[in-house]
């Protein structure tokens, strides 16, 4: 009886571990390593500009002071400025440029926290 139980557990463990295996290789279909300087690449990235949603206080721009690429990084900065539209930031997306149905998505990001901010990376469908 003990041998039967141990054999059953061994087979069950093998089946469960086999179901946990990962795909050995992935095919990269799109990437941006930000190995250039200036604005995000127009063939891959678009901008939202103005006041976009949710009664946010920030005004989205495509200005280099708010979004730029340098040293392998895409930098998005929220700034407090003088005058109308005094809180500026950037919102970039791949809408109409890149679309993915299935697969694995990897993002490397450092997201700071500060009072009144809500930095985020969204994965939204079209």
pLDDT digits (tens, 9 = 90+) for 5-33: 777 777 778 877 776 666 678 888 899 99
**Strand order of the sheet with strand 79-80?**
59-60, 87-89, 79-80
By 3-state DSSP, what share of the chain in percent is helix, strand and coil, each rounded to 5? 15, 20, 65
Q: Decide if 99 is inside a domain.
A: no
* Model confidence pLDDT, tens digit, residues 32-85: 999 999 999 999 999 999 988 888 888 999 999 999 999 999 999 999 999 888
pLDDT at residue 23, rounded to an integer: 63
Q: Decide if 9 is inside a domain.
A: no
Domain that holds residue 48: 28-93
pLDDT at residue 70, rounded to an integer: 97
Q: Decide if 23 is inside a domain.
A: no
pLDDT at residue 60, rounded to an integer: 94
pLDDT at residue 19, rounded to an integer: 67
Q: Decide if 123 is inside a domain.
A: no
Q: What are the distances in angstroms from CA 42 to CA 47, 75, 89, 96, 106?
A: 9, 16, 18, 11, 21
Strand-pair category, 46-48 with 91-93: antiparallel
Q: Decide if 20 is inside a domain.
A: no
Q: What is the Cα 118 distance to its own chain's centre?
A: 14
Q: Are 66 and 79 in contact (CB under 8 A)?
A: yes
Q: Decide if 98 is inside a domain.
A: no
pLDDT at residue 97, rounded to an integer: 92
Q: Decide if 114 is inside a domain.
A: no
* Model confidence pLDDT, tens digit, residues 88-117: 999 999 999 988 888 888 999 998 888 878
Q: Decide if 85 is inside a domain.
A: yes
Q: Count structural domains, the chain.
A: 1
């Amino acid at each position: 009886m003990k041998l039967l139980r141990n054999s059953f557990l061994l087979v069950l463990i093998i089946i469960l571990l086999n179901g946990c295996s990962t795909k050995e290789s992935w095919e990269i279909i799109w990437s941006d390593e930000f190995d250039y300087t200036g604005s995000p690449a127009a063939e891959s990235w678009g901008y939202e500009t103005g006041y976009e949603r949710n009664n946010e206080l920030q005004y989205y721009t495509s200005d280099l002071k708010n979004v730029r690429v340098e040293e392998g990084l895409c930098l998005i900065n929220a700034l407090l400025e003088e005058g109308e539209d005094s809180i500026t930031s950037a919102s970039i997306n791949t809408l109409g440029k890149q679309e993915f149905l299935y697969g694995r998505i990897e993002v490397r990001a450092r997201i700071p926290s500060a009072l009144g901010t809500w930095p985020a990376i969204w994965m939204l469908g079209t």
